[in-house]
Amino acid sequence: MAAAAAQLLSLAAYAYMSVISHRETETRRMFVEWKAKYAKAYASIAEEECRYAVFRETRRAVDQHNAGFHSYRVGLNAVDQHNAGFHSSMLAM
């Protein structure tokens, strides 16, 4: 019985990791398309990874909002900064 439970738990963990891996692959693909659409180019791999992290978090927030019961939907745009960085750059103009 314990072996069957352990096997079931292992299978569930594998399935969960497959879903996460698929979502990460899909998000990377979307990031590449997004960079092309908005002509984004970054000076270093480190900066690109930082911007990807922002993109990934923004996508999560967009998906979470759009899954709820709201009278409007949101989407991704050309902004590649966290809210605080975006607001400070806009106020500096």
Domains (range + CATH), the chain: 2-91 (1.10.287.2250)
- Three-state secondary structure along 24-74? HHHHHHHHHHHHHHCCCCCCCHHHHHHHHHHHHHHHHHHHHHHHCCCCCCC
Q: What is the pLDDT of residue 87?
A: 47
What digits encode the pLDDT tens for the residues 20-75? Answer: 677 899 999 999 999 999 999 999 999 999 999 999 999 999 999 999 999 999 99
pLDDT tops 60 at residue 14: no
- Binned at pLDDT 50, 70 and 90, residue 19 comes out as low
pTM: 0.66
